[in-house]
């Protein structure tokens, strides 16, 4: 079976390893979310598909909202240094929220839906994913 998107598969494998390490290293239940998103990305990189991309985008938006809420709750304990900001769920919640919106948008991209036009150039300009899957 051919891999649909090696970049998505690699990112998903990295995020799965990162989420697994975070879940083992700490008792924070929010570390389950990167693990779940990583496994979803591995599935999308291996199999792909429009419905799965849109569904995963919606799930990531919901996870991002939970992380933002949890991050706002922990905001009084935050320190103003870069290391602490990158470890806070508020940062990763915003990252998930915008990433989920991007996944939903990409689910309706012409390169995913398989629609073609008369010439290749308008299709290339309409697609923001950077891949030429629709031109082969």
Note whether residue 47 is domain-resident.
Answer: yes
Note whether residue 103 is domain-resident.
Answer: yes
Question: Taking 80 as the threshold, does the pLDDT of residue 53 lie above it?
Answer: yes
Number of domains in the chain: 1
Residue 71's domain comprises 6-135
Residue 40 is classified by DSSP as H
Instruction: Tell me the backbone φ, ψ of residue 35, rounded to 5 degrees.
Output: -65, -45
What is the pLDDT, as a whole number, of residue 114?
65
Region 9-25 average pLDDT:
86
Instruction: Tell me the backbone φ, ψ of residue 57, rounded to 5 degrees.
Output: -60, -45
Rg of the chain on CA atoms, in Å: 17
What is the pLDDT, as a whole number, of residue 65?
94
Note whether residue 25 is domain-resident.
Answer: yes
Note whether residue 66 is domain-resident.
Answer: yes
Region 38-65 average pLDDT:
87
Note whether residue 120 is domain-resident.
Answer: yes
Q: 131 versus 8: which is more confidently predicted?
A: 8
Region 100-127 average pLDDT:
68
Region 80-84 average pLDDT:
84
Note whether residue 1 is domain-resident.
Answer: no
Contact 45, 7 (CB under 8 A): yes
pTM, rounded to two decimals = 0.68
Note whether residue 75 is domain-resident.
Answer: yes
Region 78-92 average pLDDT:
84
Question: Taking 90 as the threshold, does the pLDDT of residue 62 lie above it?
Answer: yes
The closest of 19, 13, 25, 15 to 99, measured between CA atoms, is: 15
What is the pLDDT, as a whole number, of residue 129?
58
Q: What is the mean pLDDT of the chain?
A: 79
Residue 69 is classified by DSSP as H
Residue spans of alpha helices (H) in the chain:
6-25, 32-46, 50-73, 82-87, 89-107, 110-113, 120-126
- Provide the pLDDT confidence category of residue 136 given band limits of 50, 70 and 90: very low
Question: Taking 50 as the threshold, does the pLDDT of residue 83 lie above it?
Answer: yes
**What is the Cα–Cα distance from 10 to 8, expressed in whole angstroms?**
5
Note whether residue 40 is domain-resident.
Answer: yes
């Amino acid at each position: 079976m051919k891999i649909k998107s090696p970049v998505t598969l690699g990112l998903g494998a990295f995020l799965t390893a990162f989420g697994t390490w975070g879940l083992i290293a700490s008792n924070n239940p929010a570390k389950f979310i990167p693990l779940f998103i990583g496994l979803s990305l591995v599935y999308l990189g291996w199999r792909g598909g429009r419905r799965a991309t849109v569904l995963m985008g919606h799930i990531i938006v919901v996870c991002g909202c939970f992380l933002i809420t949890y991050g706002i709750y922990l905001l009084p304990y935050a320190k103003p240094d870069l290391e602490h900001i990158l470890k806070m769920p508020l940062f990763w919640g915003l990252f998930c929220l915008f990433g989920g919106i991007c996944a939903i948008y990409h689910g309706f991209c012409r390169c995913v839906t398989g629609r073609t036009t008369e010439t290749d150039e308008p299709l290339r300009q309409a697609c923001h994913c950077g891949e030429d899957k629709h031109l082969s």
